[in-house]
């Protein structure tokens, strides 16, 4: 079991998520219980694993968890872009990039 602490200034998201596979259901079961499973995730903060032929294939997670990981990915992308620009300040004009991609500017 691991503990997940969202790093955000939004007080609504400053709750602690204990990430564990609270429930595992088959895809067939998930189809019939989708509303209930979404409510458990949304209101109870539970992570639901969905399996197909015994293999985990998807998960239902609280939306705040998804947003946290999206923000982290965006932050990593920006940091990478800033690092690349700091290492090499050469730029390519938009028209040149469009020609390389076969597009008209």
pLDDT surpassing 50 at residue 1: no
CA gap 62, 85 in Å, rounded: 35
Give the tens place of pLDDT for each residue, 2-54: 445 455 445 444 444 555 557 899 999 999 999 999 999 998 888 999 999 99
> Could you tell me the domains of the chain?
2-100 (3.40.1620.10)
CB within 8 Å of 29: residues ≥ 6 apart: none
CB within 8 Å of 13: residues ≥ 6 apart: 6, 64, 67, 68
Name the pairing type of β-strands 2-4 and 17-19.
Answer: antiparallel
pTM (2 d.p.): 0.61
For the chain, the first-to-last Cα distance in angstroms comes to 52
Minimal CA–CA distance to 61: which of 73, 44, 81? 44
């Amino acid at each position: 079991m691991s503990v997940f602490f969202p790093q955000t200034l939004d007080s609504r998201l400053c709750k602690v998520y204990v990430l564990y596979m609270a429930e595992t259901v088959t895809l067939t079961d998930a189809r019939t219980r989708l509303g209930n499973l979404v409510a458990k995730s949304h209101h109870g903060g539970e992570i639901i694993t969905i399996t197909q032929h015994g293999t985990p294939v998807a998960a239902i997670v609280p939306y705040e968890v998804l947003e946290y990981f999206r923000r982290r990915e965006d932050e990593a992308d920006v940091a990478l872009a800033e690092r690349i620009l700091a290492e090499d300040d050469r730029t390519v004009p938009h028209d040149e990039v469009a020609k390389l991609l076969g597009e008209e500017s």
